[in-house]
Amino acid sequence: MIQIEVNNKPVQAREGEMILSALNRAGIRVPTLCFMENLFPSGACRMCVVEVEGQRNLIPSCAFPVADGMKIKTHSPRVVKARKTIIELLLANHPNDCLYCSRSGNCELQNLSEEFGITQHRFKGTTAVYPLDTSSLSIVRDPSKCILCGRCVRVCEEVQGVSAIDFAGRGSTSSVETAFGEGLNVSSCINCGQCIMVCPTGALTERSRINDVLDALDDPEKVVVVQHAPSISVTLAEEFGTKPGKDIAGIMVAAFRQLGFDRVFDTSFSADLTIMEEASELVQRITNGGKLPMMTSCSPGWIKYVEQFYPDFIDNISSCKSPQQMLGALIKHFFAQREGISPDKIYSVSVMPCTAKKFEGDRPEMIHDNVADVDAVLTTREMAKILRMRGIDLNSLEPDTADSPFGMRSTAGKLFGATGGVMEAALRTAYYLITGSDMDDYKIQDVRGLKGHKEVHLTIGDTEFGFAVVSGLDNARQLLEEIRMGRSDIHFIEVMTCPGGCIAGGGQPHSTDIKAIRQRMQKLYSIDRDERVHFSHKNTEVQRLYDEFLGKPLGEKSHHLLHTKYVKREEVLL
Active site residues: 278, 281, 298, 318, 357, 360, 365, 502
Q: How far apart, in whole angstroms, are the C-alpha atoms of residue 398 and residue 162?
A: 44
The stretches of 310-390 forming alpha helices (DSSP H) are 323-330, 336-339, 356-361, 380-389
DSSP lists the bridge partners of residue 477 as none
Q: How far apart, in whole angstroms, are the C-alpha atoms of residue 431 and residue 542?
A: 18
From 541, 557, 508, 553, select the one nearest 194 (Cα to Cα).
Answer: 508
Helix (H/G/I), strand (E/B), else coil: 91: helix
Residue 531, C-beta contacts closer than 8 angstroms, at least 6 positions apart: 411
Residue 180, C-beta contacts closer than 8 angstroms, at least 6 positions apart: none
**Three-state SS sequence of 268-283:** HHHHHHHHHHHHHHHH
- CB atoms under 10 Å from CB of 256, counted, come to 25
Measure the CA dihedral 452/455/460/465, to 10°: 120
CB 51 within 8 A of CB 78: yes
Q: How far apart, in whole angstroms, are the C-alpha atoms of residue 41 and residue 190?
A: 25
Q: How far apart, in whole angstroms, are the C-alpha atoms of residue 384 and residue 283?
A: 40
Helix (H/G/I), strand (E/B), else coil: 231: coil
Q: How far apart, in whole angstroms, are the C-alpha atoms of residue 332 and residue 263?
A: 13
The stretches of 312-377 forming alpha helices (DSSP H) are 323-330, 336-339, 356-361
- Taking CA atoms, 539 is separated from 233, 268, 417, in Å, by 20, 11, 18
